[in-house]
Structure 1
Amino acid sequence: MDAIEFLTGFDNIMVKIQKLLSICQTQLEGESTETVKGLCLKLILILITGIQSINQNILIEYIMISPLFDCLVKLLCDVPTRQRHGYEVVLIITFLVNYRKYHAANPYVVKLSILDDEIALNGYGQVITSSLSEFCNQYNLEHAENQNASWFSSLTNIVGNMFISEEGGVRMQQVRANNALLLAFYEAIHLNRNFITTLAQTQTDASSPPSPNNTLSNIQDIPDLSAAPATFDVTTQPSNLLVTFFQYCSIVMQDTKTEAGTNTVKLCFLILGCITEDQYANSLMHDVSLAFKVRLHRLPMRHRKLSSDKTTSSQPLICTLLDLLVEFILSHMMKKFPMELYMLCTGVLQRILCYQKKCRIRLNFVWKELWTALISLLRFILQNENYLGKKINIFVLSIKVVNMMNFFITYGDNFLPTPGSYDELYYEVIRMHQVFDNIYSMALRYSSGDGDYKEDALKLNNTLFNVRAIIKHFNPKIEQWLASANLSTPSEEQILEIVKKNYDSLTLKLQDSLDHYERYTEMPHYGTFFTNMVNIILCDTRNNINCSLLNFTNIASEYPVI
Structure 2
Amino acid sequence: MEPSPLTQDSRPEVFQAKIIHLYETLFKVHNDVADDDDDHVELSDGFWQEFFLHRPDAAGLRRVLASLTPDDMLHQQAHSQQLFSRAIVRVKQATAPADEIALETLTVFLDAALSKKYTNPSADIIAVLTGLHDADAVMAEFVATLDAAIRNGRSIPLRLRAVRATLAITAAGFQTALPSYLTHRDLFPSLMKYVQDCDSSAHVLPALFLLGLLANYNKFEFQNPYRLRLDDFVNEAIIRDMVLCFGHTCTRLRHAYIAIQDDMPEGWTLGSTLGYIGLGALAPSSRPSTPVPAPEEAKSLFAALPGPDVGILLSTYDFANANKVFCFNLVTTASDTDSDPSPLSAYLSLTSYMFQHAHRSTRAALYTYLSLFVLQILVEDPLLAKRLCSDETKLSVRLCRQRQPYLPIVRGERVPAAIILDLISDGISHNLRRRLDVDFYVLCLGVLLRLLSFLARAKVRIAYHWSELWRTLLSFVRFLTTYESDIKSNYKSAGMISILVKLLAFALSNGENFLPDPASYDDLFYKLVESGDTLIKFRDTFSLSGQADPMQILINVASHYHSLLQSDEKGKSRSKHLSPQAVSTVIKQGYETLSIDASEGLDRWEKFREADFKTLLKKIARAAVEDAKTLNES
Match 1:481 to one of 542, 545, 568: 568
Match 1:274 to one of 369, 373, 377: 377
Q: TM-score, normalised by structure 2?
A: 0.70
Match 1:136 to one of 251, 254, 258: 254
Contact 1:90–1:124 (CA under 8 A) maintained in structure 2 = yes
Q: 2:194 matched to 1:57?
A: no
Corresponding residue of 2:552 = 465
Give the Cα–Cα distance (whole angstroms) in 1 for the partners of residues 592 and 263 of structure 2: 57
Match 1:261 to one of 346, 352, 364: 364
What letter matches 1:508 in structure 2? Answer: I
Q: Which moved more, 1:10-19 or 1:246-255?
A: 10-19
Corresponding residue of 1:66 = 185
Match 1:188 to one of 319, 323, 338: 319
Q: How does 1:135-534 map to 2 (within 5 A)?
A: 135-144=253-262, 157=293, 159-164=295-300, 172-205=303-336, 236-255=338-357, 256-301=359-404, 310=409, 313-391=412-490, 394-443=493-542, 447=543, 457-458=544-545, 462-481=549-568, 487-523=575-611, 525-534=612-621
Cα distance change of structure 1 residues 437 and 22 upon mapping to structure 2, 3 Å threshold = closer
Give the Cα–Cα distance (whole angstroms) in 2 for the partners of residues 501 and 155 of structure 1: 57
Give the Cα–Cα distance (whole angstroms) in 1 for the partners of residues 424 and 527 of structure 2: 19
Deviation of 1:341 after TM superposition, in Å, equals: 1.1
In structure 1, the gaps of 5 or more residues are 149-153, 207-235, 448-456, 549-562
Deviation of 1:238 after TM superposition, in Å, equals: 4.1
Give the Cα–Cα distance (whole angstroms) in 2 for the partners of residues 442 and 50 of structure 1: 48
Cα distance change of structure 1 residues 401 and 533 upon mapping to structure 2, 3 Å threshold = closer
Contact 1:295–1:312 (CA under 8 A) maintained in structure 2 = no
Give the Cα–Cα distance (whole angstroms) in 1 for the partners of residues 619 and 251 of structure 2: 26
1:77-133 deviation line (CA, Å, top 9, x unaligned): 2342x4342111111211111122112222111111111000111111122111110
1:313-347 deviation line (CA, Å, top 9, x unaligned): 41101101101111122222233322221111101
Corresponding residue of 1:20 = 142
Q: 2:223 matched to 1:105?
A: yes
Give the Cα–Cα distance (whole angstroms) in 2 for the partners of residues 285 and 4 of structure 1: 49
Contact 1:146–1:158 (CA under 8 A) maintained in structure 2 = no
Contact 1:398–1:460 (CA under 8 A) maintained in structure 2 = no
TM superposition outliers: structure 1 runs of 4+ over 6 Å: 145-148
Contact 1:243–1:294 (CA under 8 A) maintained in structure 2 = yes
Give the Cα–Cα distance (whole angstroms) in 2 for the partners of residues 100 and 247 of structure 1: 32
Corresponding residue of 1:45 = 167
Q: Which moved more, 1:290-299 or 1:459-468?
A: 459-468
Corresponding residue of 2:624 = 537
| Larger RCO: 1 or 2 (CA < 8 Å, sep 6+) | 1
Give the Cα–Cα distance (whole angstroms) in 1 for the partners of residues 202 and 171 of structure 2: 21
What letter matches 1:36 in structure 2? Answer: L
- What's the % identity of the aligned pairs? 18
Deviation of 1:3 after TM superposition, in Å, equals: 5.7
What letter matches 2:617 in structure 1? Answer: F
Corresponding residue of 2:78 = none
Give the Cα–Cα distance (whole angstroms) in 2 for the partners of residues 118 and 43 of structure 1: 27
Contact 1:294–1:312 (CA under 8 A) maintained in structure 2 = no
Give the Cα–Cα distance (whole angstroms) in 1 for the partners of residues 587 and 559 of structure 2: 12
Contact 2:202–2:245 (CA under 8 A) maintained in structure 1 = no
What letter matches 2:487 in structure 1? Answer: L
Cα distance change of structure 1 residues 361 and 30 upon mapping to structure 2, 3 Å threshold = same
Deviation of 1:544 after TM superposition, in Å, equals: 4.4
Give the Cα–Cα distance (whole angstroms) in 2 for the partners of residues 413 and 46 of structure 1: 55
Corresponding residue of 1:89 = 207
What letter matches 2:177 in structure 1? Answer: N
Cα distance change of structure 1 residues 442 and 538 upon mapping to structure 2, 3 Å threshold = closer
Deviation of 1:411 after TM superposition, in Å, equals: 1.4
Give the Cα–Cα distance (whole angstroms) in 2 for the partners of residues 500 and 251 of structure 1: 39
Give the Cα–Cα distance (whole angstroms) in 2 for the partners of residues 156 and 162 of structure 1: 8
Corresponding residue of 2:110 = none
Contact 1:257–1:336 (CA under 8 A) maintained in structure 2 = no
Deviation of 1:471 after TM superposition, in Å, equals: 2.4
Cα distance change of structure 1 residues 104 and 326 upon mapping to structure 2, 3 Å threshold = same
Give the Cα–Cα distance (whole angstroms) in 2 for the partners of residues 324 and 460 of structure 1: 34
What letter matches 1:249 in structure 2? Answer: T
Cα distance change of structure 1 residues 268 and 155 upon mapping to structure 2, 3 Å threshold = farther
Cα distance change of structure 1 residues 276 and 319 upon mapping to structure 2, 3 Å threshold = same
Give the Cα–Cα distance (whole angstroms) in 1 for the partners of residues 264 and 553 of structure 2: 48
Contact 1:402–1:463 (CA under 8 A) maintained in structure 2 = yes
What letter matches 1:328 in structure 2? Answer: G
Cα distance change of structure 1 residues 3 and 400 upon mapping to structure 2, 3 Å threshold = closer
Q: Which moved more, 1:105-114 or 1:474-483?
A: 474-483
Deviation of 1:415 after TM superposition, in Å, equals: 1.6
Corresponding residue of 1:217 = none
Corresponding residue of 1:229 = none
Contact 1:293–1:311 (CA under 8 A) maintained in structure 2 = no
In structure 2, the gaps of 5 or more residues are 1-121, 267-289
Contact 1:52–1:539 (CA under 8 A) maintained in structure 2 = no
1:344-387 deviation line (CA, Å, top 9, x unaligned): 11011001011112211112222111111111111112222244
Give the Cα–Cα distance (whole angstroms) in 2 for the partners of residues 464 and 147 of structure 1: 39
Give the Cα–Cα distance (whole angstroms) in 2 for the partners of residues 414 and 141 of structure 1: 42
1:421-458 deviation line (CA, Å, top 9, x unaligned): 22222222122222112223434xxx4xxxxxxxxx44
Contact 2:435–2:486 (CA under 8 A) maintained in structure 1 = no
Give the Cα–Cα distance (whole angstroms) in 2 for the partners of residues 392 and 7 of structure 1: 46
What letter matches 1:192 in structure 2? Answer: N
What letter matches 1:143 in structure 2? Answer: Q
What letter matches 2:293 in structure 1? Answer: N
Q: TM-score, normalised by structure 1?
A: 0.79
SS in 2 for 1:388: helix
Q: How does 1:551-562 map to 2 (within 5 A)?
A: none
Cα distance change of structure 1 residues 428 and 530 upon mapping to structure 2, 3 Å threshold = same
1:368-418 deviation line (CA, Å, top 9, x unaligned): 111111111111122222443345565543332222121022212222212
Cα distance change of structure 1 residues 67 and 487 upon mapping to structure 2, 3 Å threshold = closer
What letter matches 1:17 in structure 2? Answer: M
Cα distance change of structure 1 residues 98 and 52 upon mapping to structure 2, 3 Å threshold = closer
Give the Cα–Cα distance (whole angstroms) in 1 for the partners of residues 527 and 343 of structure 2: 36
What letter matches 1:330 in structure 2? Answer: S
1:524-552 deviation line (CA, Å, top 9, x unaligned): x321222232233223423543x35xxxx
Cα distance change of structure 1 residues 509 and 161 upon mapping to structure 2, 3 Å threshold = same
Corresponding residue of 2:235 = 117
Give the Cα–Cα distance (whole angstroms) in 2 for the partners of residues 24 and 262 of structure 1: 34
SS in 2 for 1:293: coil
Corresponding residue of 1:553 = none
